[in-house]
Structure 1
Amino acid sequence: MEIKNKIENLIAEILKKQFSSIPQKQTIKYASNGNLYIACTFCGDSKTNLNKKRCCIYLDTLSYYCFNCSASGNLIYFFKHFGIDSYDLLDLEKINLEITNKPKQTILDIFEKSDPTIIQELKSILIPYNEVIKLYDLIDPIGDAKLEILKRNLIINDKLKSSKNGNKLYILNTIKIENELYISYINIKNINSKFKYYILNLEQIYKDIRKEFEPIKHLYEKYNRSLNIFNYLNLNLDKQFFVFEGELDSLLFEQLTNIQSIALSGASKELSNNLINAIYFYDADATGLKKSIQTLKENKNIFLFSKFCKDVFNLNTKQFKKLDFTDLILYLINKQNMSLDEIKNKINTNINNYISNNQLDVLFI
């Protein structure tokens, strides 16, 4: 009870600061299952209904999730983000450590515990995995040099498929609910086209299977931010995670490091700004440089990709027009004749040394 009261007091302090001129948004709503609901301190919640409280605080897992903007994460990071002193969080840190050592809890697990109807709503709008495989006649990846290397060296899981002629690579955003796989969107890369990729969202897949989308449109709009981020609903909120720009980088990184990751792939900047316990991994190019500088200015963690390449692999990223994580792995295999075991060992030994939120590290970007 003492910890619960402390959390409530800290939240009340944040709400008072964030919504100083809006008394309705400073109050906390208490759910019968013990969860707390507050106006989201990231998106501000509803602009028309000041009494809306769509950010849920889960006391049993010390985590939070906003059903409006999909901001989510560990409560410790939440408090630190909004200026609560670390000294005031010592007892919460201890409890958080105990929770972290338990089996992981994904966002989906939290949904199920807080409101089982959410799971049923998601099942009612998502497309079963096998139905998608059959619809687009998908097989294991073939036909492209990149894919051949990945296929030879990595476990190709359910997220990566190919068209039968090998001209298209399908990256599937899979979500496992009650031991069944579902699809929320597909990123298709045209191997022989000047266009890099295109997205098939849920609405387009519904059209392709000739299923009416209008009856479930309101539910899709309710969950679309979460559904359109690669691997997002599978995140364990107790730990930090890496954020990539592309799905293939995310998939490859997770298989090599066993560290959880997601890919924004065009997701809204609003949501990107709300991922406060994330480590951002940007490509080594002009756009990645700008994003890295901006993220450091916001005191968020980035991965110092260029410095990592130089220090660990003696590789100057400036010699490339663009270099992403997948490009790096392929270069090391093809040009430096490194085995995948060597690469994995070097990455996993050094990766934690190149995470930073220090603005002075802009010199190493």
Structure 2
Amino acid sequence: MRVSIGAAFMALVAIASNSIMAATAPGLATGVTGGGNAAPVYPKNIVELQTYLRDSVPRVIILNKTFDFRGSEGKKTETGCRPDYTRECIAKKNGFKSQDVILQGGGMAHTGGCSNGQPVSITYDIAGTKNPLIVSGSKTIRGEGKKGVIIGKGLWLSGDNIILQNVHITNLNPHLVWGGDAIYLQGKGNNQPMEKVWIDHVKVSLVGRQMMTTNAAGSNSLTISNCDFDGQTPYSASCDGHHYWTNIFVSNLKMTMVNNCIHHTSGRAPKLSSSEGKYLLQAHFANNYWYDNTGHSLEIDGAYVLSEGNYFKDTPVPNLQENKGSVMSVNTNNKAACKAALGRDCIPDVFVNSGAFVGHSENEVLPKVKDVATRFKPTQPKPLSLSAKNFGVGDL
């Protein structure tokens, strides 16, 4: 039987499509399909990438090259802020640099990160601070090997059913606070929460502001797994090569965060805030690996958080002590109550050369996170290894 060239080509496309289909998401994003069985597309330049991400067509978008947005929208020089902590850092002369601050609305007196600021000239790349890459619903964005790199511009997720996998986002004006967010969860129309979002095997490095953050809309089913949040930087708020503005979630949110490496940070790793009770945040942190974090890691000032099976190494402050929010780290004293509430064995966290985890309102955690925490069953905690074949923790 003769097979036409066209039929043979379509068969190869089908094989290629199957080979890049993502595995099943753990936790709350289970069932996410992204672009589904759509024939994969391979953007050739930054314009095609922007178009594929934003259109309303279900797509499987394969990144097999570096997309560098630096210089694509020009640079801007203006008056910024040099805060007091930056001036203290500069005085240390320890080989590390600090961050100046891009002024936001309201000027120096009303810009976050600009305490007791002095004016200073700053220059930044506009692509990192303005017009992020809009990602609409029903999209799979997946890197090929270690080729899928986005430089100088972040992603703005805005829709249901999104898979972002095996991509490295880097170099968003790391010398400046407010220089750019790598991943922003916008929500969808009319400020509604997103459904089924899976961020997996993603590496984030060298950002000016947040590695990941949310709008108020948030998500009802977010899973962050196997990611590498790499805080190593020459520019930091603490002048020690450790990034401070790591992740912040201020929204209505249900989140599974498992098997991630969070390292070389000094704060907000992550921060969850309810803004004085305005939002309901429910999170399950399990089997993550925090290491070499000089400041605080978790900052829970208005959320319900269960931490189990995590491995903390060289982390002097695993969580910032707060008088708001409800947070519980599983240990030998409370694991029985945890099992009674969740119907399974709960796994204690491990701390190596690290400070103590400080629980708060622990009796309120389990009733609130039961639905979230029963979606993923953790294993024993251990240090995690980053892959040499792809981005993030372990091989795809």
* Alignment TM-score > 0.5, same fold: no
Q: When the two structures are superposed, what TM-score results if normalisation uses the length of structure 2? A: 0.28
TM-score (norm 1): 0.30
Greater fraction of residues in helix: 1
The structure with the greater share of residues assigned to strand is 2
